Amino acid sequence: MRKHLKKHLPKHEAVHNNRWLRPFRNSLLHPRLWHLNRHSAAGAVAAGMFCGLIPGPLQMIGAAVCALVFRVNLPLAMLVTLYTNPFTIVPLYVLAYQIGRVVTGDSAGFVEPPAFDMTHFIAWTQAMQTWMIGVGKPLGIGLVLLAIMLAVAGYFLTKAAWRIWLIRAWRRRNRARRAGNNE
């Protein structure tokens, strides 16, 4: 599994030779950030899953910071954040909002945002602020809870997948050895 993942992840030398990353070279070149084993991969997947729900372009920066703090595989953590994209972000945010509603006990349901009205722009702006404050608490709580759930699930699924891969490789090697001994 390591060989397959290493083919698709950036190399240690790419960071070493990048002139923009020179100021951070000491922390970014720590060996544990580039080592790939089942522990660093599982931690990287968890970090990437957690940071993938951060809005906007801050996802990869968040994943990089988590990888630095927890000393897990940096490229994999950043790569995993790509599970959120224009096709998946809306359903994930709706799910987070619903989780937040359940946790906060909000029974109002989803309230549509106010329709844009240029003739009454100030009133629309005030209505939009009120709507965002109403949606903000359940969405914020739901995003944190969903990020934690995805990170935990990603961590344990990665550990399990790595273990299954390892067991199959052991069995293949044993069959090959037995076949070689029988000849």
Asked if 96 contacts 53 with a C-beta cutoff of 8 angstroms, the reply is yes
* Token pair 């790569």 in the structure block, residue: 79
Domains of the chain: which residue ranges?
2-182
Which is higher by pLDDT, 27 or 136? 136
3-state secondary structure of 80: helix
Please state, in angstroms and rounded to a whole number, the distance separating the CA atoms of residues 84 and 101.
Answer: 22
pLDDT tens digits along 24-57: 666 666 677 777 888 999 999 999 999 999 887 8
Q: Is 154 a residue whose pLDDT tops 90?
A: yes
pTM over 0.95: no
Per-residue pLDDT band for 183 (boundaries 50, 70, 90) equals low
